[in-house]
Amino acid sequence: MKKHIITFLFSIFTFLSVTAQAKTNPQLSKLYQNYIAIKSALASDDFKKTSIAAGEFMKTASSINSKSLDEKKLNALKSDAKTISLAKNIEAQRKPFYKLSEVMISIAHENKISDKTIFVQYCPMAKGSWLSNEKQIINPYYGSSMLKCGSVKSEIE
């Protein structure tokens, strides 16, 4: 009887720890939503919206504590978002988006940042990847000139 109780308690503890790991981190989830806003603004060739979205991304990144995210990654995100927000044109905003996307892809692989599937997409012409909420390709690197260029490379559950 004692052995069954111990086994039962161990099972509950294991279930709870796995469940806790599978929870979405609310700070990182908000950061991901800010990232999607930048990606969408770039894809629509909207310089002003991109600047505003990058500013929101910086605010969110600044509120994240180092327990949720590695400080080196956090600093890289802030730096890239600041460069995007201060850029003088859409082309200059797209350049730091490559690095911002690389770091966000790494974060998405290491943390649960969304309750939905995240699609890692790639444009061979731009030689760059980005994250998306949907399978449909909406290219942030070329916007309206090559909106559908790219493919889904992987999915993050």
Instruction: Tell me the average confidence (pLDDT) per consecutive run of 10 residues in the chain, 157 residues long.
Output: 50 43 81 98 98 97 86 95 97 98 96 95 97 97 94 95
Residue written as tokens 């599937």? Answer: 117
- pLDDT for res 11: 45
Q: What is the pLDDT of residue 57?
A: 98
pTM of the predicted model as reported, rounded to 2 decimal places: 0.84
The domain in which residue 147 lies consists of 26-156
Does 18 reside within a domain? no
Residues 119, 137: Cα–Cα separation, whole Å: 10
Total structural domains within the chain: 1
What pLDDT sits at residue 7? 46
Residue in the block written with tokens 């308690």: 9
Asked if residue 6 belongs to a domain, the reply is no
